[in-house]
């Protein structure tokens, strides 16, 4: 069997024998016919109102009108990212971005994204939700028709199927399907340097609140830019769709935030939702594998995609995608491995998110969750009645005893195939806890409230493969929110902007290890130990110990968050010492000199750090500074008072114009974000009075 490296999928032109390929010249663009797109836009009537921060407030009679307006408004602010998301989902990103995008193009085919969409789009997604997705696509198409020179060749028209495919493709990667593939194909890949995807969610009931209010923190940690960076909007139709919160490029559904009656925060969870099987094969029986003592034929199909080499030169790559009864198969020099995974063949996410968006109380929201269309993700819930709760959501398979499901499984036994899912009622969850408090910070789900309310392992289904770790953020929740039995509005926000590492945190353990090194004859190490010994474990911009500690701990902490092998500490400490001496001339510069928020003409010091509750992850620059590129992004504080009156505040790390450099809203929220302040969410028409700076109806002229 030919050796096929994961990295070789990216470097497609370099894998000898694995591909049949050919060179071609990209055709000259013929553009697209804008007339039908402009005509179609007239069938919608959406009003877009932009407030002083440029946040779009989109209203219309029908849900489809609002979705159309959302597609247009989002395109105004970030068409380039929407286009990138569409190209990735279609499996054509490598045509524009080269070999680094080839992995994604291959995976779209390996996971049968478009076969799933084409087979089930009309039969498995409701007509109402399809109309919303088509309308959103028409809003994108209208913007493209008005700005044809900013549109990649072949992108238009966008359709509702693109939206469905995006949901189907994106979901499994939040819990780490890609890592399962990489572990089989290329176990020694270089450490992932992308910003971690994490999050915080906290809810307190009236019994825990000083003024009897219900409060919700929505605090996702995402990259600052790209296909999973948040876009903020407020949507309202006369058909009952009224939401405010975060949206991803290429999707019209509010993924977390609130409506008038309830809200939720989403946090990434990483339970065991992938099973890997070693298939029994025989060189004498090519293209077959054994199941229950009988030989079965692989489903094999040749696919092709094109990769940009340079300029207009494209390399056409041909490769087999292989499936067994388990799911997709990867063939390696160590054998053939098959995968069963949560989200395989799933098309129900759009319907479920729409039902969640329109839920009016806990019962209707819980019914939406019972659809079980979302492959993973934790949910922290709160509503105006005072109900709060935590749900460790996922498409968990029913597994039998007798096997270590975290290891590679024998692939020749049908008894190990996925056939049923664990129902929602049996998943880890807490509702209406006596303590009036729930949280999640990407930690062990058994710690989700006060100890008296926490779930017990005996009550949970076996083989869930739940996380067992406690992040620093989780530890700090237990040292802040959890110790306060009467939380004011000011305290609720102050705890969110906590800047400390816990004495029980992994970083504290690293410091203890660093202090044990022999510094004899090494004045730099001795000075570093002096700084670390005196550090107060905080990450405010004036702090003089944070830079050394964070630069030392970041490689180990990131590896732990990514589920990768943890490197030794001493090289990281020595590198941090050398880095600070070279770029700052001292080992204890102020943290704000090192940690920066940069956007357009904005260059500000920013507090916080990796795995701090005010999470900030940075990219190293040539001058030695760190430019924040992930962590806290869209932050929302939502509350309902005793009378059920909603108040909502939010902040975005940059601004509503997430990729439009010409817009005044490209970076106008960055100073507030750096200062850990928020702005009001103008949820109702009454709240928007006198605060709308621009209003228009796209496509209506």
- Kindly tell me if the per-residue pLDDT of 8 is higher than 50: no
How many whole angstroms separate alpha carbon 163 and alpha carbon 139?
12
Residue 457: pLDDT band (50, 70, 90) is confident
Distances (CA, A) of 528 to 210, 282, 314, 500, 531: 44, 58, 52, 20, 5
What was the pLDDT predicted at 661?
Answer: 85
Question: What's the Cα-to-Cα distance from 523 to each of 140, 207, 585, rounded to whole Å?
Answer: 60, 55, 14
Please tell me the predicted confidence (pLDDT) of residue 317. 87
Q: Are 610 and 230 in contact (CB under 8 A)?
A: no
At 244, the pLDDT band (50, 70, 90 cuts) reads: very high
What local confidence, expressed as pLDDT, does residue 308 receive?
Answer: 87
- Taking each helix axis from N to C end, the angle separating 160-170 and 113-124, rounded to the nearest 10 degrees, works out to 120
Cα–Cα dist 282/202, whole Å: 53
**Tokens standing for 57?**
């407030």
Instruction: Give the span between the Cα atoms of 256 and 246, in whole angstroms.
Output: 6
- SS3 label, residue 669: coil
Q: What share of the chain is helix, strand, coil (3-state, %, to 5)?
A: 35, 25, 40
pLDDT digits over 115-136, tens only? Answer: 999 999 999 999 999 999 999 9
Residue 20 predicted with pLDDT over 80: no
Cα 466 from chain centre: 19
Give the Cα separation of 649 and 641 in Å (integer). 14
Q: Quick one: pLDDT at residue 257?
A: 98
For 547, other C-beta atoms within 10 Å of its C-beta total 29
pLDDT, tens digit, 9 for 90 and up, residues 283-330: 999 999 999 999 999 999 999 989 888 777 888 889 999 999 999 999
Query: What is the average pLDDT value for the chain, to the nearest integer?
Result: 92
Residue 496 and residue 438: Cα distance in Å, rounded? 14
Here the tokens at position 572 are: 């990281």
Mean per-residue pLDDT for 81-95? 95
Mean pLDDT of 464-481: 95
pLDDT of residue 309: 83
Alpha-carbon distance 202 to 492, whole Å?
9
Q: What is the pLDDT of residue 187?
A: 56
- Is the pLDDT at 215 greater than 70? The verdict is yes
pLDDT in tens, 684-694: 999 999 999 99
The answer to whether the pTM exceeds 0.85 is yes
Per DSSP, the three-state class of 322 is strand
- State the pLDDT at residue 440: 98
Domains of the chain: 200-224+234-268+349-496 (3.60.20.10), 506-612 (1.10.1400.10)
d(CA 395, CA 341): 9
Q: What is the pLDDT of residue 100?
A: 86
Of the candidates 12, 18, 4, the one whose C-alpha atom is nearest the C-alpha of residue 99 is 12
């Amino acid at each position: 069997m030919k050796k096929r490296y994961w990295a070789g999928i990216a470097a497609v032109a370099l894998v000898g024998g694995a591909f049949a390929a050919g060179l071609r010249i990209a055709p000259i663009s013929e553009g697209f016919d804008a007339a039908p797109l402009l005509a179609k836009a007239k069938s919608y009537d959406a009003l877009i109102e932009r407030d002083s921060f440029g946040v779009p407030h989109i209203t219309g009679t029908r849900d489809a009108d609002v979705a159309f307006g959302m597609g247009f408004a989002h395109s105004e602010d970030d068409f380039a990212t929407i286009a990138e998301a569409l190209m990735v989902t279609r499996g054509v990103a490598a045509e524009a971005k080269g070999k680094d995008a080839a992995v994604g193009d291959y995976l779209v085919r390996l996971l049968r994204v478009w076969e799933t969409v084409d087979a089930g789009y009309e039969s498995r997604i409701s007509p109402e939700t399809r109309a919303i997705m088509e309308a959103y696509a028409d809003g994108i198409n209208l913007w493209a028709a008005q700005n044809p020179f900013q549109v990649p060749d072949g992108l238009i028209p966008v359709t509702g199927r693109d939206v469905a495919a995006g949901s189907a493709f994106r979901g499994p990667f939040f819990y780490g399907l890609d890592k399962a593939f990489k572990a089989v194909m290329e176990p020694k890949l270089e450490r992932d340097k992308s910003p971690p995807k994490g999050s915080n969610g906290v809810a307190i009931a009236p019994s825990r609140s000083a003024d009897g209010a219900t409060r919700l923190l929505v605090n996702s940690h995402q990259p600052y830019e790209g296909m999973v960076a948040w876009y903020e909007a407020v949507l309202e139709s006369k058909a009952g769709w009224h939401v405010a919160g975060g949206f991803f490029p290429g999707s019209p559904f509010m993924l977390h935030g609130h409506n008038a009656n309830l809200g939720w925060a989403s946090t990434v969870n990483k339970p065991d939702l992938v099973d890997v099987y070693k298939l029994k094969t025989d060189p004498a029986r090519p293209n077959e594998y054994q199941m229950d003592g009988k030989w079965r034929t692989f489903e094999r199909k040749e696919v092709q995609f094109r990769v940009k080499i340079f300029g207009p030169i494209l390399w056409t790559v041909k490769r087999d995608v292989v499936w067994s009864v388990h799911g997709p198969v990867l063939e390696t020099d160590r054998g053939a491995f098959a995968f069963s995974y949560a989200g395989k063949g799933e098309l129900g996410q759009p319907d479920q998110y729409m039902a969640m968006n329109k839920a009016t109380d806990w019962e209707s929201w819980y019914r939406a969750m019972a659809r079980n269309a979302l492959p993973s993700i934790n949910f922290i819930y709160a509503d105006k009645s005072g109900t709060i709760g935590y749900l460790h959501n996922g498409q968990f398979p029913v597994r039998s005893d007798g096997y270590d499901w975290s290891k590679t499984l024998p692939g020749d036994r049908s008894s190990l195939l996925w056939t049923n899912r664990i129902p929602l009622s049996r998943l880890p969850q807490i509702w209406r806890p006596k303590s009036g408090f729930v949280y999640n910070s990407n930690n062990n789900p058994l710690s989700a409230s006060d100890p008296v309310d926490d779930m017990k392992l005996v009550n949970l289904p076996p083989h869930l493969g739940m996380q067992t770790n406690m992040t620093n953020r989780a530890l700090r929740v237990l040292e802040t929110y959890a110790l306060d039995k009467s939380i004011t509005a000011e305290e609720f926000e102050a705890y969110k902007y906590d800047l400390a590492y816990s004495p029980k945190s992994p970083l504290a353990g690293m410091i203890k290890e660093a202090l044990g090194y022999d510094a004899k004859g090494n004045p730099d190490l001795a000075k570093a130990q002096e700084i670390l010994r005196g550090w107060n474990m905080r990450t405010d911009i004036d702090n003089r110990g944070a830079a050394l500690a964070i630069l030392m701990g970041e490689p180990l902490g990131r590896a732990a968050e990514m589920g990768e092998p943890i490197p030794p500490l001493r090289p990281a400490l020595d590198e941090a010492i050398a880095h600070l001496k070279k770029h700052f001339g001292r080992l204890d510069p102020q943290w704000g000199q090192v940690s920066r928020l940069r956007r357009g003409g904005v260059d500000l010091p920013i507090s916080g750090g990796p795995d701090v509750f005010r999470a900030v992850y940075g990219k190293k620059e040539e001058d030695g500074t760190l430019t924040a590129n992930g962590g806290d992004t869209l932050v929302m504080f939502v509350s309902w008072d005793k009378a059920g009156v909603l108040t909502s505040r939010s902040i975005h790390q940059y601004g509503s114009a997430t990729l439009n450099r010409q817009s005044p809203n490209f970076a106008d929220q960055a100073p507030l974000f750096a200062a850990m302040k928020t702005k009001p969410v103008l949820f109702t028409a009454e709240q928007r009075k006198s605060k709308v700076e621009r209003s228009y109806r796209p496509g209506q002229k």
